[in-house]
């Protein structure tokens, strides 16, 4: 994956950001795309969004090392533009392979681009904070869509609801075997 040239984002990236965390994770978080910090480090969610994500996980008693964090595209789009549909399609196989290998009990797509990968046309504002069961790559998968942390940083009034949704996520994970 670190030498992938399946799409043109390979031309401008510094490092591929393959994802990071536990291979035995019960929870997989899926974001949108690497930003400048992630592109330099090769690690997902190391900037301000990552700090908020860490704080939310800490609140529900989950260490970041115990989850797996990935993105729908693994290379930074220039100027942090939104990923294009063809880039998301090109990268989709990497994500489905990670899900197949890790077999998380719950996958939390963070924001609309991640949600779109799993539910075409799904609206994050409508589906956030509720379990969605879907067929995915020939198996059943439980999703728990959440806002992308950057969206909460841009609109801090969303934070109380975000914390509540993370609380619900923590309770579901405790029940999951």
Task: Kindly list the residues in this chain that would bind ligand SF4 in the complex (CB under 6 A).
Answer: 1, 4-7, 9-10, 16, 73-75, 87, 90-91, 94
Residue whose CB is less far from ligand SF4, 4 or 172: 4
**Closest separation in Å from C-beta 18 to ligand SF4:** 8
Find the helix packing angle between 159-175 and 48-59, rounded to 10°: 50
User: Least Å distance between CB 102 and ligand SF4?
Assistant: 17
State which residue, 19 or 52, has the beta carbon closest to ligand SF4. 19
What tokens were used for 18?
């393959």
CB of 79 to ligand SF4, least distance (A): 15
Nearer residue to ligand SF4 within complex by CB, 53 or 87: 87
Can you give the three-state secondary structure of the chain, one letter per residue? CCCCCCCHHHHCCCCCCCCEECCCCCEEEEECCCCHHHHHHCCCCCCHHHHHHHHHHHHCCCCHHHCEEEECCCCCCHHHCCCCHHHHHHHHHHHHHHHHHHCCCEEEEECHHHHHHHCCCCCHHHHCCCCEEEEECCEEEEECCECCHHHHHHCHHHHHHHHHHHHHHHHHHHHCC
Burial 116-126 (b: 16+ CB within 10 A, else e): bbbbeebebee
CB of 42 to ligand SF4, least distance (A): 12
Q: How far is the CB of 101 from ligand SF4 (least distance, A)?
A: 16
CB of 47 to ligand SF4, least distance (A): 18
Nearer to ligand SF4, 1 or 172 (CB): 1
State which residue, 9 or 107, has the beta carbon closest to ligand SF4.
9
| Complex with ligand SF4: residue 90 or 152, whichever CB lies closer | 90
């Amino acid at each position: 994956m670190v030498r992938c040239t399946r799409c043109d984002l390979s031309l401008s990236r510094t490092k591929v950001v393959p994802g990071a965390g536990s291979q035995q994770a019960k929870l997989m978080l899926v974001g949108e795309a690497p930003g400048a910090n992630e592109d330099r480090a090769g690690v997902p969610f190391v900037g301000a969004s990552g700090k908020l994500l860490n704080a939310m996980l800490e609140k529900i008693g989950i260490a970041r090392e115990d989850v797996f964090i990935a993105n729908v595209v693994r290379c930074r789009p220039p100027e942090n533009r939104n990923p294009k549909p063809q880039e998301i399609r090109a990268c989709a196989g990497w994500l489905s392979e990670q899900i197949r290998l890790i077999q998380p009990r719950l996958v939390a797509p963070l924001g609309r681009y991640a949600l779109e990968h799993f539910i075409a046309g799904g609206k994050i504002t409508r589906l956030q904070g509720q379990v969605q069961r879907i067929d995915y790559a020939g198996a059943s998968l439980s999703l728990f869509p959440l806002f992308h942390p950057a969206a909460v940083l841009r609109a801090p009034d969303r934070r109380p609801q975000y914390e509540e949704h993370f609380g619900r996520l923590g309770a579901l994970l405790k029940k999951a075997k």
